[in-house]
A and B are shown apart, each in its own frame.
Chain A
Amino acid sequence: MEIKQNGNIIEITGTIKTITDSEMINDTINSIKDDIIRIKIYDSYVLPSSIIGNLLRAIDSGKQVILGVKSDLLEELIKDLNLDKVFNLYRL
């Protein structure tokens, strides 16, 4: 897995395989000071609950999350959890 951060944009390529991968993503999310966090997930079909919880905490603290996903399975998962509007979900 690779994370690229450019300002408030986080791009994740490869699969989120390990707990360390999830923690790296969470650390990157938490490092963003901007009010809007833009995340683009290119290859992963799934999203661990620790990342979902962290994003929800960011929203609770007044930030806006804009999540772009490439996988239709991940899009379906986010929609099934009713988080598509909360995360401003869109397809890459």
Chain B
Amino acid sequence: MKNISIAIIDENKFFTIRLKLFLIQEEFKTVKTYHSINELLEEKTNFDLIIMDEEKFKNTFLKTFPNTIFLLISNEIKDSENFRIFYIIKNFSNNMLKQEIEIISLIKNYEKEVNKKNEELKKALEYISEQTDIAATKQLNMIFDNVSFKRIGNYCFDNYYSPKDKLNGDSYIAWQTDNHIFISIIDAMGKGIGASLTATLTSGIGNYILDKESTLENILANLINYIKTVLLDNEALCMLLLKINLKTNEFKIANFGMPPVYIKKGKEIEKIRPNNRPILKNSEEKIIIDTYKKEFDMMLLMSDGLIESLNKEGIPYYVNLKKVIPESDFLREILKDFKQNAIQDDDTTVYAIIKQQNNYEKIYEKSFFFSSKKDLDGIISEIDAKLNEDENTKQKFYLVFQEILLNIFEHAYRKNYDKQEIIQKNQDFSDIKGEIHIKICKNEEYFNIIIKDRGKGFDVTNILKLENKNNFKRFHRRGLLVLLNIVCGLFFEDNGRIVHIFIRRKNGN
């Protein structure tokens, strides 16, 4: 039996029955006859093929029956310009009809096969996308970060971790122990699941080892031994590990084929180049760790995503970076330029360690008690009256204070807090009472706003590991992400009870 369904439409009942009998004789399984197209429309049945008079055919039928091929009975021999319209001359023989329908059958069967494969492909892609989302979430879960967006001692730590796609071939570690900070950026060569698995495993195991070992030598020896068991013969892993002693300002670096570490002091830049080769499965080379004691304003650690992405002229962003770093005191300023002038074409991780400058002078300091949002508005108005700045800078101040003060109001002094419940039940925050201390300092280029509260604080650990804008819609720390887009730096201290915000004073940031 031939499995295409056929409808014959003609007012001439004798013609339709004769044709139907012939087609049934030719072993077509489904053949039905109709007097008019309306009769078929009323029945709402779909057919693979409709045979009808050309004079009764309208182009709109192609839309009405999107999966149907039309065989039109014509007064003359015609070539079709549409793959869904075929012609047969009015006085056709049975053989002519048979040949036409066989061609159409082949097309329909091929089309059905393609549709089936497309459906299978669609399902497979949906499955891959779903699994990639899960893997990307797990990848983030495996990164432990108790350093980023914090001010620790005289240092502020800022981080940008952004995959090119969902899965990241980069990973990182940001770990604080009593007097030491460990920062590591890991870049597994290649892309996709394999690279992300290597990078993620390395950071996961790195965190485990960091918890057990304290010397950089032991940490690296253990970590590299493990990495070698994971790497395939043709794979390599680039990794940079930095350990800073917060008391002595001494730092140690082991760089396995990652871009140089940029050390900025004033307008000068020094580059500390890799001191080890990328890690291979069979490498037996001695691990080199270099120790430095240098003053710096900002130290930048990065994967190659930042320097190798092309700028608008098609030149690696590395060229821009050489000009941008001397003019920037914060990572956010570099990222702003990167986003404006380059197209990210690889996974990108950048870590910045910024030393707090001591050339800020205090211009405002006051404590406030509040018990309503109107009190908070009063604080904003008072600060506004003290500011003698351009509109751009003022609007940044308004946003900073709205976001931070509202956050303190809604979170800091409330014991059992459920914002969703409060919104759903249309409750207010009338039982909230608290204290805020505000200090504003400035130097020639930046404002430093320090806002303190005496509330319960919050865990800054893992506060923002992934800066992937695709996650913004479901991201529950929208205020933080909005602020990071307009300020130069935002760093927490004292379990989130103190926030330091930096805003550029002139020309925007």
Contact = CB atoms under 8 A, between A and B. Distances in A.
A61 interface: no
A70 to B, nearest CB: 13
Contact of A77 (B402, B479, B486): B486
B374 A52 contact: no
A62 B281 CA distance: 53
A73 interface: yes
A31 interface: no
B395 A50 contact: no
A16 interface: yes
B403 interface: yes
Contacts of B396: 45-46
Given A49-B403, A82-B469, A82-B470, A19 B485 contact: no
A34 to B, nearest CB: 22
B406 A17 contact: no
Interface in A47-68: 47-50, 52-53, 56
B408 to A, nearest CB: 11
Interface string B390-417: 0110111011001101100000000000
A83 B478 CA distance: 12
A52 B482 contact: yes
B478 A52 contact: yes
Interface residues of B, number: 30
B376 interface: yes
Nearest to B381: A18
Most chain A C-beta atoms within 10 Å of own C-beta, residue among B395, B405, B472: B395
Contact of A49 (B398, B482, B508): B482
Interface in A21-79: 22-23, 44-50, 52-53, 56, 73, 77
Most chain B C-beta atoms within 10 Å of own C-beta, residue among A17, A56, A81, A86: A17
B392 A45 contact: yes
A18 B400 CA distance: 11
A45 B384 CA distance: 16
Contacts of B482: 46-49, 52, 77, 81
B283 to A, nearest CB: 41
Most chain A C-beta atoms within 10 Å of own C-beta, residue among B374, B377, B482: B482
A45 B503 CA distance: 15
14 contacts: A15-B398, A18-B381, A18-B402, A45-B391, A46-B398, A48-B399, A48-B402, A48-B403, A48-B482, A49-B478, A49-B482, A56-B473, A77-B486, A81-B485
Given A46-B399, A49-B481, 8 more contacts: A15-B395, A44-B395, A45-B395, A49-B478, A50-B402, A80-B469, A80-B485, A81-B485
